[in-house]
Amino acid sequence: MAQASINGLRLYGVAAHESGSVQPLAEGTTLIPFRALAAVVAPSRYSRVVLDEKEMAEYSRILEEVQTAAAVLPAPPGTVFRSRDNLSRWLELHYFTLTQAMGSIEGHSQARLTITKNLRVDAKDGTTDELKETTKQFQATAAHSMRVLRGQAAATVVLPLPEGGTNVIAQASFLVDTERWNAFSDLVAQEDERQTSLEFRISGPWPPYDFVRMQFGG
C-alpha cells in the first residue's frame, strides 16, 4: 500500500511534441509522449497535493519554462495520476480534444489585466450613494477599455473581483498572439494614459492558465 502511494505522476501540462524527441522541456520533469502531444510530468505520491506557496511557485516555474520551448496546455494544479499507464490511457482518450485546444492556444500567450481606480479621484467627503455612483462610472469606463483590448485578443476571460474592500474595478485575461505582445502592451499603456481616473496593470506573458479546462472523467 505504501509503495503504491509513491509511484504516482504529477501532471503539470500537455505540450506540443515532435516525434522522436525525449528531451525534457523543464528541469525536474520528463515527457510521456503520445503522437503529437506529450505530458509533462514528475514523480509524485499518489495522494492529495497541498497547494501551498511553494507548490504553486514550482507549478508556475515548470509551465513557464515549458512555454519557452513549446505550446503547453496547463493542467490544474495538483493533478496526480496513479501510474504511467493511467496517464497514457487518458492522453489517448482525450487526444482529439487536447489537439483541438492546442490548436487554439499555439502561438499565443496569456496577459492578465487588473484595472484599479485612482484613489486621488475619490471624493473624501462623499456620501455612500455618491461613492457607489462613482464606482459605477468607473466600471462603465473600464468596460469600454476592455472592449477595446478584446478586439486585439484571440479570446478573453473576465475574472471575478477579489472579495473585501479593494480598489479593483475589473480583472480579465486575454489570449494574445505572442508575436504581437508588444503591440498589445502598448495598447494597454494607451488606455492607462487615456483613462486618468483608472490605473491599468498588465502581467505576462504567461501560459494560458485561464483558457484551458481539462477533463479527467471517462
Q: Are residues 153 and 113 in the same domain?
A: yes
DSSP class of residue 107 equals T
Report the candidate in 88, 62, 85, 65 with the shortest Cα–Cα distance to residue 75: 62
Rounded distance, CA 208 to CA 173, Å? 9
For 45, half-sphere exposure in the C-beta direction (CA atoms, 13 angstrom radius) is: 8
Q: Are residues 11 and 89 in the same domain?
A: yes
The backbone torsions φ and ψ at residue 192, rounded to the nearest 5 degrees and listed phi first, read -60, -40
Q: Where are the beta strands (DSSP E) in the chain?
A: 8-16, 30-34, 37-44, 72-74, 80-81, 108-117, 155-159, 168-177, 198-206
Q: Where are the beta strands (DSSP E) in 124-210?
A: 155-159, 168-177, 198-206
* Final residue in a domain of this structure, among 106, 139, 167: 106
Could you list the pLDDT tens digit for every one of the 218 residues in the chain? 444 456 899 999 999 998 777 789 999 999 999 999 999 999 999 888 899 999 999 999 999 999 999 999 999 999 999 999 999 999 999 999 999 999 999 999 999 999 998 876 655 566 667 667 777 888 899 999 999 999 999 999 999 988 776 789 999 999 999 999 999 999 999 999 999 989 999 999 999 999 999 887 65
Q: What is the pTM of this model?
A: 0.87
Q: Are residues 144 and 177 in the same domain?
A: yes
Q: Are residues 194 and 179 in the same domain?
A: yes
Q: Are residues 99 and 54 in the same domain?
A: yes
Nearest 10 degrees: Cα torsion 188, 193, 195, 200: 40
Whether 217 is in a domain gets the answer: no
Q: Are residues 98 and 141 in the same domain?
A: no
Q: Are residues 120 and 76 in the same domain?
A: no
Q: Are residues 99 and 183 in the same domain?
A: no
